[in-house]
Amino acid sequence: MPPVSFSDVSFSDIETAVTAAGLTPRGGFHPGPSDAVPNDPKTVILLGNAGAAFWQAFTHERKDEPAPLDAWTERTITKLAADLGARAAFPFDGPPYLPFQRWAQKCEPVYPSPIGALIHPVYGLWHAYRAALMFDITLDLPEQATAPSPCDACADKPCLTTCPVGAFTRESYDVPACVGFLESPDGEGCLGLGCAARRACPVGRDFIYEPAQARFHMAAFAGAHGRLD
């Protein structure tokens, strides 16, 4: 979309631009001193992914470069920010890292799941936060949806019992065990289809990542821990 003047931008403009880029608007909030938002903006809008549009946009525009997803995200969101009169911030810039998960809980009904990742009542565990747009004006924001955590009504908690190497408990996540399994021949299921614990969750089944996307994220995770190339 063409650049929007700083004073005229609306949440609807942001939704249109973000969706056209293959991303998903994830709500917004008006930050206070305790929110640890840098540079004192008056409105923060979170951007992320849920569904196939993000993966299609990324693969269409992907370049052969280090950390291709972070690089694509930074290019895409930096342009959006310039068009909308905002500043961009990213969860991968750091340390120190910005508290995106805390911000997310101010924007949407998302909750820590038993395996740590935030669960959404519609998307389940198949979503992510990719960036924030920070505005120096107070934007009118839609009323935040409300919903209880789907984990509260889940008696079986299959996410805690499905991992082939028992990497998840209510108290901890054994990253070395997880990564070692991904590198082994037995780890092809998790590497190629996505984390078995996440796939066991009954929420958000329509948003499970396709195999190519799952493999990309799992290989990137393992590679970041020094095991997979």
As a whole number of angstroms, the distance between CA 12 and CA 17 comes to: 9
Partners of residue 131 on adjacent β-strands = 47
Contacts of 227 (CB under 8 A, 6+ apart): 179, 180, 182, 183
Q: Whose CA is closest to 77, among 126, 129, 31, 41? A: 129
Q: Tell me, what's the pLDDT at 4?
A: 42
Q: Whose CA is closest to 117, among 107, 132, 105, 106? A: 105
Entry pTM: 0.92
- pLDDT tens for residues 187-223? 999 999 999 999 999 999 999 999 999 999 999 999 8
Q: Tell me, what's the pLDDT at 6?
A: 58
The alpha carbon of 14 is separated from its chain's Cα centroid by a whole number of angstroms, namely 18
Residue 95's region, left for phi above 0, alpha for psi from -120 to 50, else beta, is beta
Q: Tell me, what's the pLDDT at 226?
A: 62
Q: Tell me, what's the pLDDT at 8?
A: 80
Distance in Å from the first CA to the final CA of the chain: 37
As a whole number of angstroms, the distance between CA 21 and CA 74 comes to: 12
Q: Tell me, what's the pLDDT at 34?
A: 95
Per-residue pLDDT of the chain (229 residues; tens, 9 = 90+): 444 445 688 999 999 999 999 999 999 999 999 999 999 999 999 999 999 999 999 999 999 999 999 999 999 999 999 999 999 999 999 999 999 999 999 999 999 999 999 999 999 999 999 999 999 999 999 998 999 999 999 999 999 999 999 999 999 999 999 999 999 999 999 999 999 999 999 999 999 999 999 999 999 999 888 654 4
Q: Whose CA is closest to 179, among 191, 192, 193, 197? A: 191
As a whole number of angstroms, the distance between CA 8 and CA 120 comes to: 31
Contacts of 120 (CB under 8 A, 6+ apart): 50, 108, 109, 110, 127, 203, 204
